[in-house]
Amino acid sequence: FMNNNDFSSNTYDKNDDFIDITRDIEKHYIDTIEILRQTVEAKDPYTRGHSDRVSAYSVLLGKKLALPKKDLITLKIGGLFHDIGKIGIPDSILLKESRLTDEEYAQIKMHPIVGVQILGNSDFFYDCLPIILHHHEKFDGSGYPNRLRGHDIPYLARICSIVDAFDAMTSRRSYRDVIPLEKVVEELKKYSGTQFDPRNFICILRYC
């Protein structure tokens, strides 16, 4: 028979093994999600690198806003994976150059929800989920998926929102060239207070 010390030691060993296995599973899960992210980016050569830039720009803006390190890390990860839900959108819609139908646009608007469904299984992404879900909300409440308004929109999602738009406008697309920076600033200013948090517009303006 085992004595108490043997039992205790054996239990600790099993717990250590369980922790190691859990960490391995978590690592493989994160690696798989990264592969999915790269798959989304590889679909369209014109948006390749978009998530990396959104991540980097979000951190820069977060630093300008003097956010704590924890929030900067969340912005970095959230920026990288904000569009992961697009893996569930058919290429025929995602890569369509002509105007989307109402039905097609409805599918596009599902990608934040799909993103949360993909990432919500891991504690690693927990803090990023508000960014994933709400980066298409608009300050006036006309965005998606929940039509949140103003300060009801999670703050880090508001940062990602304006950075996402900035990179989209300053990057070439299959249907247009890069928009000149002065025009981008005009557009951001135009929609400050309706689409974007005005505070974030003022800060991003300092980088333009």
| Domain count for the chain | 1
For the packed helices 181-190 and 155-169, what is the interaxial angle rounded to 10 degrees? 140
pLDDT at 13 over 60: no
- Which pLDDT belongs to residue 202? 85
| Domain with 115 in it | 4-205
Task: Evaluate if residue 32 carries a pLDDT over 80.
Answer: yes
Whole-angstrom distance, CA of residue 5 vs CA of residue 15 = 15
Tens of pLDDT along 80-119? 999 999 999 999 998 888 899 999 999 999 999 999 999 9
Radius of gyration of the chain (CA): 21
CA–CA distance, 181 with 10 (Å, rounded to integer): 64
| Cross-strand pairs, 176 | 173
pLDDT at 16: 60
Contact 30, 38 (CB under 8 A): no
Secondary structure (DSSP) of 91-154: HHHHT--SPPPHHHHHHHTTHHHHHHHHHTT-GGGGGGHHHHHHTT--TTS--SSS---GGGS-
Assign residue 101 the CATH number of its domain. 1.10.3210.10
* Model pLDDT for residues 125-153, shown as the tens digit of each residue: 999 999 999 999 999 999 999 999 999 99
Give the C-alpha separation, 194 to 143, whole Å: 10
In the prediction, which pLDDT does 138 show? 98
Share in percent of the chain as helix, strand, coil (round to 5)? 70, 0, 30
pTM score over 0.75: yes
pLDDT on residue 2? 44
**How many Cα atoms within 13 Å fall on the side-chain side of residue 76?**
11
What digits encode the pLDDT tens for the residues 36-69? 888 888 887 767 899 999 999 999 999 999 999 9
Closest CA to 150 of 85, 183, 199, 203: 199
Could you read off the pLDDT of 162-204 as tens digits, one per residue? 999 999 999 887 678 899 999 999 999 999 999 999 999 888 8
